[in-house]
Each structure stands twice: as C-alpha cells, then as structure tokens.
Amino acid sequence: MLDLLIIVSVVLGIIALAQLIKVLDLASQARGENSWENTDKDNKAQARLMPVFLVVYFASIIYQMVAWGKYLLPVSASAHGETIDNLMITSWIVIFPVFILTHILLFYFAWKYSYDKNRKAEFFPHSNKLELLWTIVPTVVLSILILYGLNTWNNITTPASEEDDAVLIELYAYQFGWIARYAGEDREFGDANVRLIEGVNALGMDSTDSRGWDDKIVRAEFHLPVNRPVQFIFRAQDVIHSAYMPHFRAQMNCVPGMTTRFGYTPTITTSEMKGITQNDEFNYILLCNKICGAAHYNMQMDIIVESEAEYETWLAEQKVFLPMDGTPKVKEVAPEEVVDSTFTEAEEMTTASIN
C-alpha cells in the first residue's frame, strides 16, 4: 500500500512538474524569451545565490564543528599519537585558511563579475609572475609539511629496541574476532602455523616448540601496562583484517601468509580516560578496519590500560598455553569455535569470554 502511494505520488509529481514547465514556457515566450538562454534576470539571480551559498556552506561547517566536535576522538592515549595529533593540527592550520580564502575568492568573483552586456571581460590570458607565485608558494608550504610529516613517520616506524623492555603481544585476526597472545617469561613466541589449527588450539601453535609453552592466550579483552612500550605482531588466519586502535592512533593490516608489526607506548590508563571523556562506560577498543566478510562491522576486543602492578596481577591470572610439565593440552571442546563463519554465531563469540 505504501509502495503504491509512493509510486502514485512520484507519477503525479512528474506530471505536475511537466505542467509547471509548460506554463513557465508560455509565460516566457510571451515575453519573447526562451527556455534556455540566460536573461539578465537569471544571471543576477544566480549571482546573488553565490554569496548566499558561501555563507550557508561556512555556517553549516561551523554548526557541524560545534555540534559534532565533541564526538571526535579524545586526546591521544599513546606517546607517538601526540606527535600525530600535533602534525594533524599543523596541517589543519595550513589547510583551513587556504580553504576559506579560495572559497571566498571563488564565490566573490562569481557574484561580483556576473554578466553585464555593457561591460567587456578583461582579456588577461596569462602572467608569468602570478603563475610563478602560485607554483612556488604551494611548493614551499608543501615542502615544510612533507619534511614535518616524514620526520614524524620516521619516529613512529622506528621499532622498539631491546633495552625498551617492550611488552610483546601477538594480535591474531580471524573471521570474526581477535585473539591476543603474550610472549611470556622467555619474551619469545612459540611457532605457529594455520595447518596446526585444531580444536582449542585456535592459533595453530606448535606444541613441540618449548618457546610457546609459556605463551598466554586471551580473548575478549587484553591488558596493557601504562607508560611501557608495547610491540605488536599481527597475524591473520583467513582474509586480510586490519587492527585499528583509534585512541592510540594505531593501525596495521593483518595479512594471511605474513606478519606485520606496530608498536606504541600507552600513556593514559582506562580509568584516567574515563575522567577525561567524562564517560564511565568508556573503554579502549580494537576493531577491524579492513572489509573481511559479513560480520566485519562487529569484530571487536576491549583494551584495558592500567598500572604496571595491576597489569602484572592480571597477567599472572592468565593461563599459559601448555601446563609446565610439557604434556599437550587435551583436544576437546567446541571445535566450531574456530571454524564458524556465520555472523550470528560470530556475534555470540565476540561476547563470550575466553579459553
């Protein structure tokens, strides 16, 4: 019924429009005008709309900034993120005046120089001076931005060194969830391979590799100590995923067949951030930012940043991959946990807790 109404109203709308045009046509023909050639009145009307549009456009941008500015990501919760935010602010400081100036010129010229049959446009085909000016000025400005940007990029991508005592975490992505693995006492990950995935061994860890015996595997949430570097290693099980941690200004793709890396130092604990955002429910999150299938939109893991002591307590409570006597874990429970691909089950999975 609703569809029928919509169709009927669309048809009636088109007929009404056609009739309106006919009436306008007759009226303009009576004045000796036609339906396509701009009259002085048309040019004046359109010219007046130019500054009107400019004002509306700028006003809407200001409105959006005021109304929605508070929804933007809060201050960076990582050390390198502050340098990214500074670079971002510098870029906006360059971009905004250019945006405003060029738009004012565009719509001002359009309004100011609208057609007047008693005037002739100025024949001004070129000027080497002007062209040189707006080749050199952008070049200089961009050079500064490029140098600043590359400097920041180099600092961010320099990997953590041994002395930093970085926490080593592997983030493992699959359709549709995340698993985190801590390297354990030996600061080394045990070998893992998708061909060894079976039962509860969702990461495909090689149980004969003793380096992996003390690895700790966690789901649903992972914890980070504040002010200590974290080195992430990313793996993917099936398709490309992307580990996106927006509050830490961190993102890296997880690619099947290879490992990727990214590191940062968290600087603000979860409870401090609750204060900053004035939101008691606030949680840092890890989400997937590369299209990976039907439940891509719901692939999440919580991140808890806490004091070193709290972190150590939490970590001690987590089970290691193998019991210390070296016997492999029994292969039982829920094999479909790793093999399912329908999104309803995936939804349950992301909310279900742990191993």
Partner 1 sequence: MSAHTHHDDNDFLFKYIFSTDHKMIAKQFLLTGTFMGFIGMMMSLFFRIQLGWPGEASPLLESVLGSWAPDGILAPDKYLALVTIHGTIMVFFLLTAGLSGTFSNLLIPLQIGARDMASGFMNMLSYWLFFLSSLVMLASLFVEGGPAAGGWTIYPPLSALPEAMPGSGLGMTLWIASMAIFIMSSLLGSLNYIVTILNLRTKGMTMTRMPLTIWAFFVTAILGVLSFPVLFAAVLLLLFDRSFGTSFYLSDIFIAGKALEVEGGSPILYEHLFWFLGHPEVYIILLPALGITSEVVATNARKPIFGYRAMIGSILAIGFISVLVWGHHMFVTGMSPFLGAVFTFTTLLVAIPSAVKVFNYLTTLWKGNIIFTPAMLFAIGLVSTFITGGLTGIILGDSALDINVHDTYFVVGHFHIVMGLSGTFGMICGVYHWFPKMFGRMLDKRLGFVHFWLTITSAYGVFFPMHFLGLAGVPRRYYTNSSFPLFDNLIDINVTISIFAFIGGVAQFIFLYNLLYSMFKGPKSPKNPWMSNTLEWTTPVEHIHGNWPGAIPEVHRWPYDYSKPGADSDFISQDVPLGPDEKDEGH
Q: Using H for helix, E for strand and C for coil, what is the string for 273-300?
A: HHHHHCCCCCCEEEEECCCCCCCHHHCE
Nearer to partner 1, 139 or 307 (CB): 139
Rounded distance between C-alpha atoms, residue 18 and residue 34, angstroms? 16
DSSP state of 195: G
- What is the bridge-based pairing of β-strands 260-264 and 230-236? antiparallel
Q: Give me the least distance between CB of 125 and partner 1, in Å please.
A: 4
| Residue 323, SS3 per DSSP | coil
Q: Which helix (H) or strand (E) holds 68?
A: helix 40-68
DSSP state of 198: B
Q: Give me the least distance between CB of 305 and partner 1, in Å please.
A: 15
Nearer to partner 1, 107 or 311 (CB): 107
Nearer to partner 1, 121 or 309 (CB): 121
Nearer to partner 1, 227 or 283 (CB): 283
Nearer to partner 1, 2 or 324 (CB): 2
Of 350, 342, 339, 238, the closest CA to residue 301 belongs to: 350
Q: Give me the least distance between CB of 100 and partner 1, in Å please.
A: 10
Nearer to partner 1, 118 or 353 (CB): 118
Q: Give me the least distance between CB of 216 and partner 1, in Å please.
A: 22
β partners of residue 205? 192
The structure tokens listed for 321 are 């991959």
Q: Give me the least distance between CB of 325 and partner 1, in Å please.
A: 29
Q: Using H for helix, E for strand and C for coil, what is the string for 214-273?
A: CCEEECCEEEEECCCCEEEEEEECCCCEEEEEHHHCEEEEECCCCCEEEEECECCCHHHH
Nearer to partner 1, 184 or 242 (CB): 242
Q: Give me the least distance between CB of 126 and partner 1, in Å please.
A: 5
Nearer to partner 1, 37 or 163 (CB): 37
Rounded distance between C-alpha atoms, residue 95 and residue 101, angstroms? 10
List, in order, residues 6 or more apart from 283 with CB less than 8 Å away. 270, 302, 303, 304
β partners of residue 78? 266
Q: Give me the least distance between CB of 218 and partner 1, in Å please.
A: 20
Burial grade of 211 (CB within 10 A; 0-12, 13-18, 19 or more): middle
Q: Give me the least distance between CB of 209 and partner 1, in Å please.
A: 17
Q: Give me the least distance between CB of 317 and partner 1, in Å please.
A: 26
List, in order, residues 6 or more apart from 197 with CB less than 8 Å away. 203, 204, 237, 338
Nearer to partner 1, 142 or 276 (CB): 142
β partners of residue 168? 231
